[in-house]
């Protein structure tokens, strides 16, 4: 990740992680939004508890910041078991994974974030662990090498990914439960902002919470981050109370516009519209022009642009919509003619 954006939902700042942790709901009943999904998780967990079994392996997928990690912790709390969290890129050696797996107790959760980034070796090593709760571990080398079959406790693998399509079919097929998290509507984000404000012991006007919710790109992690920026502003420039006016001013000062788009979002749209005449343009060319990683654009920027219809993916590349040009106040007749693409 090249740099931090206020509206990205990446977890890269340890200080930020600490605050997110205090705001994170611990049980399903505290969780706001994703009602259907919550219902399904509750049934699955209640059934597993009723049978006295570990929960089934679960795959959570959807854009960053919507609560995949939070849900993994909630699953552990609801089951009354421990959670061990790691990530696809962090798991480099089978030995490390072996250590984690053999320490898991009955019903414990192994949470692997960015599971689509597991190496092929680690992934294959995982298959018997997931399927039969055992691992084949090779000890010694050359002529003395032998396979030791190590039994494991019945644990639950919870995988999270922003890109379900990038998971290999054999891994995907080993999950019993799949849950897709979608962007939150503004009313739910408003509730989340109120809940977080209460936990942070800050006073907030209803309309101010609405403004923050409306600029959070459907993402709770962004809502919580914006709330903290607005709280800072209220403490320094006001009397500590988050009024409508303070919220508006603080977010304007941060360069977050009325739709929640930040500098990088607007830059992406401007590049497609002005530099590539509305598109289509390939993601590689876009990333190079913007000097950003492809993954940053695909995971952090694009999903919301696609959701609000400002960008469309076509076979020949990305195209900007007439609404995107209008939002930025750019006149481009070629884009207006592309309306039929949307
Ligand atoms: N904080 C972050 N996400 C949340 C959610 N979905 N419900 C309640 N609080 C949250």
Q: What digits encode the pLDDT tens for the residues 254-264?
A: 999 999 999 99
State if residue 65 touches ligand 1 by the CB under 6 angstroms criterion.
no
State if residue 38 touches ligand 1 by the CB under 6 angstroms criterion.
no
Angle at 248 between CA 226 and CA 202, to 5 degrees: 55
Query: Probe ligand 1: pick from 11, 20, 22, 33, max atoms within 8 Å of CB?
Result: 33
Q: Is residue 20 part of a domain?
A: no
Q: Is residue 124 part of a domain?
A: yes
Q: Judge if 56 and 143 occupy the same domain.
A: yes
CA atoms within 13 A on the CB side of 52: 0
Res. 8 pLDDT band, cuts 50 70 90: very low
Res. 11 pLDDT band, cuts 50 70 90: low
Q: Say how many Å lie between the CA of residue 41 and the centre of ligand 1.
A: 16
Taking the C-alpha atoms of residue 117 and residue 120, their distance in angstroms, rounded to an integer, is: 9
**Residue 311: burial class (beta carbons within 10 Å; 0-12, 13-18, 19+):** buried
Which domain-ending residue is among 180, 207, 239? 180
Longest dimension (CA), the chain: 75
- Say yes or no to pLDDT of 198 above 70: yes
- Say yes or no to pLDDT of 339 above 70: no
Q: Judge if 244 and 327 occupy the same domain.
A: no
Average pLDDT estimate for 273-283: 95
Element (H, E) at 214: helix 206-214
Q: Is the peptide bond before 280 cis (omega within 30 degrees of 0)?
A: yes
The full length of the chain comes to 342
Tokens of 330: 């750019």
Q: Judge if 220 and 298 occupy the same domain.
A: no
Atom index in ligand 1 nearest the CA of residue 66 equals 3
Q: What is the pTM assigned to this prediction? A: 0.91
- How many domains are there within the chain? 3
Helix (H, G, I), strand (E, B) or coil at 110: strand
Closest CA to 275 of 326, 332, 221: 332
Query: Probe ligand 1: pick from 29, 195, 197, 219, max atoms within 8 Å of CB?
Result: 195
Atom index in ligand 1 nearest the CA of residue 223 equals 2
Helix (H, G, I), strand (E, B) or coil at 306: helix
Q: Say how many Å lie between the CA of residue 299 and the centre of ligand 1.
A: 20
Residue 304 is part of a domain; what is its CATH number? 1.10.10.10
Closest CA to 257 of 163, 319, 327, 317: 327
3-state secondary structure 158-190: EEEECCHHHCCHHHHCCCCEEEECCCCCHHHHH
Residue 198 is part of a domain; what is its CATH number? 1.10.8.60
Which domain-ending residue is among 180, 209, 240? 180
Q: Judge if 195 and 171 occupy the same domain.
A: no
Q: Is residue 40 part of a domain?
A: yes
Average pLDDT estimate for 17-30: 87
Q: What is the pLDDT of residue 4?
A: 46
Closest CA to 281 of 312, 249, 257: 312
Taking the C-alpha atoms of residue 150 and residue 146, their distance in angstroms, rounded to an integer, is: 12
Q: Judge if 173 and 194 occupy the same domain.
A: no
Q: Say how many Å lie between the CA of residue 21 and the centre of ligand 1.
A: 11
- Report the helix count and the strand count for the chain, using DSSP H and E: 16, 9
Q: What is the pLDDT of residue 237?
A: 96
User: DSSP label at 218?
Assistant: T
Atom index in ligand 1 nearest the CA of residue 32 equals 7
Q: What is the pLDDT of residue 3?
A: 44
Proportion of the chain above pLDDT 70, given as a percent: 92
Q: Is residue 27 part of a domain?
A: no
Taking the C-alpha atoms of residue 152 and residue 132, their distance in angstroms, rounded to an integer, is: 9
Q: Which residues are catalytic?
A: 68-69, 113, 162, 221
Tens of pLDDT, residue by residue over 297-332, are 999 999 999 999 999 999 999 999 999 999 999 987
Q: Is residue 192 part of a domain?
A: yes
Residue range of the domain that includes 233: 186-253
């Amino acid at each position: 990740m090249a740099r931090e954006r206020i509206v990205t939902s990446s977890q890269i700042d340890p200080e930020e992680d600490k605050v997110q942790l205090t705001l994170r709901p611990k049980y399903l009943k505290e969780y706001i939004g994703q009602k259907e999904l919550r219902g399904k998780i509750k049934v699955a967990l209640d059934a597993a508890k009723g049978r006295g079994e570990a929960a089934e392996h679960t795959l959570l997928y959807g854009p960053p910041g919507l609560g995949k990690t939070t849900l993994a912790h909630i699953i552990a709390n609801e089951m009354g078991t421990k959670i061990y969290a790691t990530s696809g890129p962090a798991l480099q050696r089978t030995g490390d994974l072996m250590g984690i797996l053999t320490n898991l107790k009955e019903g414990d959760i192994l949470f692997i974030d960015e599971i689509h980034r597991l190496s092929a070796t680690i992934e294959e090593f995982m298959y018997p662990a997931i399927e039969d709760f055992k691992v084949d571990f090779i000890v010694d080398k050359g002529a003395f090498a032998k396979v030791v079959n190590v039994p494991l406790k019945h644990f639950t693998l919870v995988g999270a990914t922003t890109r379900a399509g990038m998971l290999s079919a054999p891994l995907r097929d080993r999950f019993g439960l799949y849950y897709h998290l979608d962007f939150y509507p503004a009313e739910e984000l408003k509730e989340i902002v109120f809940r977080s404000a209460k936990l942070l012991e800050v006073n907030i006007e209803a309309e101010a919470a609405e403004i923050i919710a409306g600029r959070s790109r459907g993402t709770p992690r962004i809502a919580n981050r914006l709330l903290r920026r607005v709280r800072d502003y209220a403490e320094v420039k006001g009397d500590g109370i988050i009024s409508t006016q303070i919220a508006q001013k603080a977010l304007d000062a941060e360069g977050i516009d009325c739709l929640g788009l930040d500098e990088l979002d607007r830059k992406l749209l401007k590049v497609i519209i002005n530099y590539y005449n509305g598109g289509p343009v390939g993601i590689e060319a876009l990333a190079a022009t913007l000097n950003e990683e492809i993954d940053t654009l695909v995971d952090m920027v694009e999903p919301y642009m696609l959701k609000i219809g400002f960008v469309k993916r076509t076979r020949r590349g990305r195209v900007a919509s007439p609404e995107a040009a209008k939002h930025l106040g750019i006149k481009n007749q070629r884009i207006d003619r592309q309306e039929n693409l949307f």
